[in-house]
Structure 1
């Protein structure tokens, strides 16, 4: 795996138009495409004998399911378990790749691809680019989060690429001091915003990623940016809308 402490692989420049592509680092891509399915295959192979060993325990949760898995002794039954493990590993690998932000930078604009969608932002509209934990955040001139997502490249690689194209890379969120922890019904937010944050909290508990993203966009439409820290939601007004 590429360490965040190392510079990581250099961005890939394309042609004379000074285009830089930042995707999944090659080493990490090989690891997840080969390692995750291989791990699933090994787990599938080991599951029946492990289940038979566990079924001897006098205190056994999910006894029926474990006993059933342990009964897979015939070669074709074990093959099914191995196949399921392999498919599960492939699904996990491709899900991780789909969730990862892919970037295409030029001196004029950036294109961010994630969740089968692409968003284009002119460089002149970008007010800040920074890392918030493992997520890359791009703010526009109103401090709206136009792009936010996990990227596998190191911080040094990202900073070098954005600075090379003239984007305002920051070491931290320039608006961090404006965030407040959301407390249901607390003053400072209209009732509509409280309702959206309550719905977003429920979506976070369900791990409904698409709903979480949509409700975050709804908050920005109301004039607020939202971010998560642990199990808590934090909010701030867009630039120029501070009370």
Structure 2
């Protein structure tokens, strides 16, 4: 069934192979790295510039069997934690003719086909726009462009190769005019969140900006913005006719 419960859908996700890599590869990588560091623990504990010197000193003072159990077990557990977080953060896109479901971390976001005028990838972010240019969804993922394009075009969605409003974005600089009331303060707060690596807070502030009619895109830690309501096919200026 598709995202709205009608017909056959196309599901685009990471697949079983990605799960095997995360749940098998990350713990093994952690254990291997831990074993190498354990073998060098005595030497590392004597280097003043090496972090976690207390941990290496502890390993160096333990019997070999206990040292390797702790030295490999802790990094392996860290690898499992990374796999758990990565699994929860995976995006699954279910495309049907009447709607799409974007599912991540136990939460689904449904978007009706009738309200969508453009679908594209902005870097690694899947973006859906309405007819006025406002964002209906923006979800980051590592899903392949070709698979997403095939899924959406196969069900008749308006896939485009790049953001049709890319030229409308302006680099945000604190204090410059043009933003609606409250927009500059939200972008200042969002910049602090980006600089501190607080991705959840940055997403929440993006939603707050959308309520003000501001669309935001990031390039690294730089923010660019445009008004939400931009016609998809604007009329040319008088001088261009």
**One fold, TM greater than 0.5?**
yes
Offset, 1:60? 4.5
1:160 matches 2:150: yes
Q: 1:183 to 1:73 in 2, by over 3 A?
A: farther
Q: 1:237 to 1:67 in 2, by over 3 A?
A: same
| 1:88-134: CA deviation from partner (whole Å, max 9, x where unpaired) | 11111121222222111111110001233211010111111111112
Paired position in structure 1 for 2:161 = 171
| 1:163-217: CA deviation from partner (whole Å, max 9, x where unpaired) | 0011111100011011101000001113410110111111112211111100000
Query: 136, 141, 165: which is aligned to 1:151?
Result: 141
TM-score (norm 1): 0.84
**What's the C-alpha RMSD, in Å, of the aligned pairs?**
2.3
Structure 1: distance between partners of 2:105 and 2:201: 13
Q: 1:19 to 1:58 in 2, by over 3 A?
A: closer
Paired position in structure 1 for 2:32 = 42
Paired position in structure 1 for 2:7 = 17
1:132 matches 2:125: no
1:55 matches 2:45: yes
Q: 1:80 to 1:240 in 2, by over 3 A?
A: same
Question: Does the 8 A contact of 2:116 with 2:130 survive in 1?
Answer: yes
Q: Which runs of 5+ in 2 are unaligned?
A: 235-241
Structure 1: distance between partners of 2:156 and 2:196: 40
Offset, 1:49? 1.9
Q: Rg: which structure is higher?
A: 2
1:27 matches 2:27: no
TM-score (norm 2): 0.85
| Bigger mean CA deviation after superposition, 84-93 or 174-183 | 84-93
| Bigger mean CA deviation after superposition, 205-214 or 63-72 | 63-72
1:123 matches 2:127: no
Question: Does the 8 A contact of 1:128 with 1:138 survive in 2?
Answer: yes
Q: 1:73 to 1:237 in 2, by over 3 A?
A: farther
Structure 2: distance between partners of 1:86 and 1:61: 19
Offset, 1:28? 2.8
Q: 1:43 to 1:73 in 2, by over 3 A?
A: farther
| Bigger mean CA deviation after superposition, 67-76 or 180-189 | 67-76
Offset, 1:157? 1.1
Structure 2: distance between partners of 1:128 and 1:165: 14
Query: 76, 87, 98: which is aligned to 1:86?
Result: 76
Query: 81, 92, 102: which is aligned to 2:92?
Result: 102
Paired position in structure 1 for 2:239 = none
Question: Does the 8 A contact of 1:100 with 1:114 survive in 2?
Answer: yes
